[in-house]
Structure 1
Amino acid sequence: MVRFSSGYQQCGPSQNGRAVASSPKNESLDSISRTLARVMRVSGSRSMFARQAAAAGVGLTQPSYLLLRVLIDDGPLAMGALARAAQMDVGMATRQVGALVEAGLVTRDPDPADARVSLVAPTERGRRVAGSLQDVRRRHLQRALSGWTAAELQEFDRLLTRFFDDSVGTPIDD
């Protein structure tokens, strides 16, 4: 490790072989990365989702809820577009949509513009079921963030939205 007059420290090679300097900014980035991994592990866990679904009194799987949310947010979609929007394999999306159709939560009808294509759309019941689960999630956030001021919540929302937009819009490779 080499200490520079600027206070940065060279920590050694990164995974791609380039040296990485230790700095407050890099330390913050590492901390953010670790915290995001923890958030994704917990929020994306099947057990967390199962507890939320049970509290809402709904019998949805996590992938089914994701598809239903995409349809509610984006409107009727063809199966391929739905799978892409949910970042899901088409085969898995098709199986999940089949279960959602059987449960009366979505419909699958021919596209008026091209009868070879099926459009998937949420039903009113599907909207209510997703809304029940969303209400449970919102109440959980309200309790978890009850000590935050309105200004802190607005700033967190602004920064989280900016982070998401910047992350999605930035290529992974150099």
Structure 2
Amino acid sequence: MNHQDVLDRFKEINVTDLFGTKKEVKELPNVIRENETIMYATSGFMENNTWLITCTDKRVLFLDKGMIYGLKQVEIPIEKINSVSHKKGLMFGTVIIHHGSDHMEINQINKATLNPLVEAINNEIENQKNKKDDKPYQSKEFSFSVADEIIKFKKLYDEGIITEGEFQEKKKELLES
């Protein structure tokens, strides 16, 4: 991903406030991983500096590229986020991301970009939960359906409807699929 790809993605997802984060936006392509998608971004105030806050499908990134000290980068993996809370003021808002026993507070987020940021983070949290929930369910469903089929064929064998060879062949076929 290059700088133009980032700008195109920002336009696509309607990123409207990048106040004071021009250097961070230029640095973002070096930080985004190959298999990662930007879901939303905005600027906010943290540790007495303006930061670029970027939600991806894998993590929430906080970037602050200073003139002298280089790049400050903080990231929170989506699966580590417990909850997101926010409050709105007249022009700006605050987002608090709770992760583990800690939290990150980002202030002076443009009121218009506050809800899209929170929604993007919450959507990715939900997506991560759904991915985790889907895997065990699918494997349980698969193993029960295979077991059920074997039981059905065993009954057919016990009742003399199919031969032992036919039962063994079907059982092997089901276990290999």
Fold shared by both chains (TM-score > 0.5): no
TM-score (norm 1): 0.25
Higher helix share: 1
TM norm structure 2: 0.24
Larger radius of gyration: 2
The structure carrying a bigger strand percent of its residues is 2
